Structures are given as C-alpha cells and as structure tokens.
C-alpha cells in the first residue's frame, strides 16, 4: 500500500510539473461550459450507520465529462477549477443539486457537499448558501458543508466567523480528510465542527497492529474534543468490524456503497437495512 501511495505521489507530482498555464486555461474553458453543456453531474455516496444498517446521509461528489464524453477524474479537474476560480460556479451548481435532492427526498436525512477554500473566500458565499437553502425550502440542518483542513482554515478569523454564521443558521460544518493535512489538530482546537471525517488513508493502513493502533488513537483524539466521527474509505467488512469496535458507528466507503446516481441512492433508501 505504501508503495502504491508512493507511486501515486510521483504521478501527481509529474502531472503538476507538466501542467502549463495554457493547459489550465483550456481546461477552465471546458469547465466553464460544463454546466451549460450538461457534462457535469452529481453522484451520491451513502454514509451508513452500522448500528442500524440504515443510510444516515450521503456525500455529493462531482463528476465531469470532457467535450468527447470521456470521464475526467475529480483529482484532475477539481485542482484546475480551484486554481482558475471556476470552482465557485461549479460549487454553486453542486449546492443546488444537493438541496434539490433533499427537497425531493424527505426520507434522506443529510447530504454533505465539499466546499473549497476559493468558495469560502468568495464574499458572496454566505448569501449564496442562504438563498439556495431557502429556495429549496429544506431544513438547513439537512445540509452539511465539508471543508478540508489547511492553512487557509486554521488561524483565519474570517473562516471562524463563517462557521459561526453557518452554525447559527443550522447548517452543519464538517472537517474533511482529517489527518492528512498539516493543520488538522489546530483546526480541531480552534473551530467547532459538527463532524470530523477521518481520511481513508488511516482505515486503509489499519491491517497492521501499528496502523490499527494509530487509527484508534485518532478516533479517541477526535472523540476527546467531543466531535462525532465518520470513517471514510472502508472497503472490507473486516475494517468496519474493527473500527466499530473502536466506538465508531458512521462509515462511508466502497464496502457500504460506491458513489451512485441519485435515483439509485433513492432506491437504496427504501431498501431494508443492510446487514450491519
Ligand atoms: P473527498 O471529499 O475526500 O471524497 C471522498 C473520495 O473518496 C471520493 O473520490 C470517493 O469516491 C472516494 N472513496 C469513497 N469510498 C472509497 C473507498 O472505499 N475506497 C477508495 N479508494 N476511495 C473511496 P472522488 O469522487 O474521486 O473525489 C475526490 C475528491 O475530489 C474529493 O475527496 C473532494 O476533495 C474532491 N471533490 C469531489 N467533488 C467535489 C465537489 O463537488 N466540490 C469540491 N470542492 N471538491 C470535490
Ligand atoms: Mg469530502
Ligand atoms: Mg473534500
Ligand atoms: Mg474526504
């Protein structure tokens, strides 16, 4: 797994080196027309409470096709969308999509949406969110915004104020990918999140005693700050079993369901509980 990770790092690094401004500009143009051309879509990955086996919520994830109809990975297009600022438009589209699904499906408790720091920096962000939630007519507490730990988050009074305003409205704010960045711990001490999502790296290295111990300690650490936890990236039943023994009940990962189109998620909502 470490080797695989290493190779991915090298690949990502090479790609970044090769990316030119020209490449960014072309991709940005392609991204900007993606909404109008219907090349953008949303999929939803279930978050399951394994004590009941029921779908507790879902994470909205963006999908994109290029002009030839070929899928482009978020790991490729999200960074370009962020660098070029197009993420502000795409992110707004995503929020509408998520709130639309919540309005159509009262049985779906919560949908979370990833928010990038470019959106947080946008002075219209708060107004945009409020307008979208109001137009959808949903309870604000059914929407969660996932933000990723990073330099822009901790020690930034604007972000702290934004989180306070969102919380005052009832919108949930979650910390995503906990443990992978540099600022995770300072984020936890400075800001009040409704949820902490532990990055899949930790569950995917918990098949050794050392990895398992590390994950348990991270879970305890998050719990000691009185924060709830979702463990991301569970691919096997044994991982769920182990991590549930550490006191976690909310999970997300291929073992419990891949990201799927909304009609499939809706169908699964009506299913009897999966075996926990
Ligand atoms: P993320 O927010 O951490 O989302 C979870 C990612 O892990 C998703 O990748 C999901 O498909 C993947 N995943 C879920 N379960 C498993 C598993 O069991 N094993 C493995 N190997 N992977 C799993 P995806 O959809 O490719 O998205 C990658 C990243 O792109 C996201 O990471 C998020 O940071 C970003 N992203 C996706 N959609 C959006 C969006 O609408 N807005 C923004 N700002 N970022 C987005
Ligand atoms: Mg996320
Ligand atoms: Mg994220
Ligand atoms: Mg994540």
pLDDT of residue 22: 65
User: Other C-beta atoms within 10 Å of 175: how many?
Assistant: 24
In terms of DSSP bridges, do strands 195-198 and 229-232 run parallel, antiparallel, or are they unpaired?
Answer: parallel
Q: Binning pLDDT at 50, 70 and 90, where does residue 4 land?
A: very low
Pair 112, 59: CB distance under 8 Å: yes
- Joined together, the tokens standing for residue 2 give 């470490």
What does the pLDDT average to over 75-83? 92
Does 62 contact ligand 1 (Cβ within 6 A)? yes
pLDDT of residue 271: 84
Span from the CA of 61 to the centroid of ligand 1 (angstroms): 6
pLDDT digits 0-9 by tens, 225-271:
877 999 999 999 999 999 999 999 999 999 999 999 999 999 999 88
pLDDT digits 0-9 by tens, 43-64:
999 999 999 999 999 999 999 9
Q: What string of DSSP letters covers 22-70?
A: HHHHHHHHHHHTTTTTT-EEEEEEEEEETTTTEEEEEEEEEEEE-TTS-
C-alpha dist (Å) from residue 116 to 39, 53, 216:
20, 31, 28
Span from the CA of 43 to the centroid of ligand 4 (angstroms): 15
3-state secondary structure of 274: coil
Tell whether the model's pLDDT for residue 10 goes beyond 70. no
Span from the CA of 87 to the centroid of ligand 2 (angstroms): 15
Span from the CA of 141 to the centroid of ligand 2 (angstroms): 17
Does 233 contact ligand 1 (Cβ within 6 A)? yes
- What b/e readout covers 251-268, taking b as 16+ CB neighbours within 10 angstroms? bbbebbbebbebeebbeb
Check: pTM over 0.95? Answer yes or no: no
pLDDT of residue 150: 65
Does 254 contact ligand 1 (Cβ within 6 A)? yes
pLDDT of residue 28: 81
Instruction: Pick the ligand that lies closest to the CA of residue 61.
Output: 1
pLDDT digits 0-9 by tens, 131-190:
999 999 999 999 999 998 765 777 788 888 999 999 999 999 999 999 887 667 777 777
């Amino acid at each position: 797994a470490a080797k695989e990770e290493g190779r991915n790092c090298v690949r990502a690094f090479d790609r970044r080196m090769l990316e030119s401004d020209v490449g960014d500009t072309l991709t940005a143009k392609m991204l900007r027309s993606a909404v109008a051309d219907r090349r953008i879509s949303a999929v939803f990955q279930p978050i399951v409470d394994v004590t009941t086996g029921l779908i507790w919520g879902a994470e909205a994830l963006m999908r994109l096709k290029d002009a030839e109809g070929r899928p482009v990975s978020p790991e490729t297009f999200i960074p370009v969308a962020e660098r070029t600022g197009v993420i502000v438009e795409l992110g707004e589209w995503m929020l509408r999509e998520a709130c639309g699904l919540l309005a159509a499906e009262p049985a779906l408790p919560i949908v979370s949406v990833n928010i990038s720091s470019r959106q947080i920096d946008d002075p219209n962000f708060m107004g945009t969110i409020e307008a979208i939630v109001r137009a959808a007519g949903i309870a604000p507490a059914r929407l969660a915004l996932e933000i990723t730990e990073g330099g822009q988050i901790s020690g930034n009074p604007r972000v702290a104020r934004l989180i306070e305003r969102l919380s005052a409205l009832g919108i949930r704010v979650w910390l995503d990918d906990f443990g992978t960045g540099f600022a995770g711990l300072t984020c936890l001490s400075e800001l009040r999140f409704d949820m902490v999502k532990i990055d899949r790296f930790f569950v995917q290295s918990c098949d050794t005693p050392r990895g398992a111990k590390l994950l348990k300690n991270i879970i305890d650490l998050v719990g000691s700050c009185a924060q709830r936890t979702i463990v991301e990236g569970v691919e096997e039943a044994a991982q769920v079993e182990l991590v549930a023994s550490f006191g976690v009940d909310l999970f997300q990962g291929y073992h419990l369901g891949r990201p799927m189109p909304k009609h499939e998620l809706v169908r699964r909502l009506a299913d009897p509980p999966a075996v926990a």
